[in-house]
Copies of this chain bind each other. A is one copy, B any other.
C-alpha cells in the first residue's frame, strides 16, 4: 500500500460539485493534487490539478483516470455500485463500497442502523398503493414517504397523513420503491461530523444545530444548544456507525434531538447518514484549525488526522438561488467569511455559496 501518500501525490475525486471544490482546496493546502472525474464540468474543475469529463459507466475512461491517481474518493453518495466496484479493483476507494451500499438506499440504511441497535424513526417499505393505504397514519400522526434512492435536499419526498390521497402520493413519488417513515416531533436537528482513519482512530467536530427550509439546509449554528452528555452520546452513536462500516474519511450523521424531557440516552434519533463531507460542516473551514474537508482528505491519504477543535463560535448560512446576489454586502460584513462556488446561474433552490459568521467563543 502506498499510504501515507507523499505530498505531491494525486487524489482522485468523483464528482465536480461544490463539495469536490472544497475537497480540492483542502488537499491543495497539504500539497496534495486532485484529479476530478465527473459526468459534467462543475465548480470543482476550476481548482483541481486535473479534470476528466466522462460517464460513470465509461469503464475505459474510469480506468485511465484511476491510473493517474493514488487513491479515489467521492463527493456524493450516489456513486453506482458498479462504478465503485470497477475502481476498487484498481486501487483503494475511500470510504469503501460498503458505505455507499448502505447510504444510497434508505431501506438498507435504516435496516443497517436498526440492526446496530441505533434508534431511528419507525419505518416500513412501501411497494404499492395498497401498501401505502394500509400504512396510512391515523388521527393527527404524520409520516413521510421517501424514495429509497436518489433523494436529496427534500427531493423525492411526500408528506403523508390520515387524509392523504394514496394514488396522488404514489404518482408524485413517481412509482419508485419507497420507505414510509414516521414523522417525529423533535426539539432540534443536529449532526455529527466524524472523521475516521484507516487505523480506526477518529476525530469529531463540535455539534452544529441545523435548520432546514423546503427540505434544504439553511443554517448550522455551533455550538448546538445541547448539554455535554448529549454531545458525548451523539459522538458515540456516530462512532458505532463509522466502526461498523470500517469507514475511512468523513461521515456525517444527522440526528433528531427529542428534547430535554427525555433522558440523554433516549433523546437522539438518527435521521440519516451521508458517507461524505457534509453541508452542516462547512463552518469548520473558518472556525477550526483543520476543516472537515482537510480531515477527509487526510484520512483518504492515510495521513494523521488534524485537530478538529473550534476556535470560534460560528453560524453558517447557505446562499440559495438569489441569496447569492447579496455578495457585495456580505463581503463587507465584519466577521463574515464569504464562500461562492463559481456557479454561473442562480437557479431557485441551487446552492450558490455560503457564509460563516464567526463570533468569539
Residue numbers of A with Cβ under 8 A of B are 4, 7-8, 21, 24-25, 28-33, 45-49, 286, 289-290, 298, 303-307, 309, 311-312, 324, 327-328, 331-344, 353, 358, 360-361
Contacts and interface: CB of A to CB of B under 8 A. Distances in A.
Nearest to A331: B304
Contacts of A8: 342, 344
A25 B4 contact: no
Nearest to A287: B311
17 contacts: A4-B328, A24-B47, A25-B47, A28-B342, A29-B338, A30-B340, A31-B341, A31-B343, A45-B49, A47-B48, A286-B289, A289-B337, A304-B331, A306-B331, A306-B336, A307-B333, A309-B335
B47 A339 contact: no
A283 to B, nearest CB: 12
Nearest to A338: B30
A255 B99 CA distance: 55
Contact of A307 (B47, B334, B343): B334
Given A289-B334, A289-B336, 4 more contacts: A8-B342, A30-B338, A303-B328, A312-B312
Nearest to A30: B340
Contacts of A290: 337
A47 B7 CA distance: 15
Contact of A342 (B33, B46, B328): B33
A312 B360 CA distance: 9
A304 B289 contact: no
A49 B47 CA distance: 6
A307 B355 CA distance: 13
Contacts of A324: 7
B304 A358 contact: no
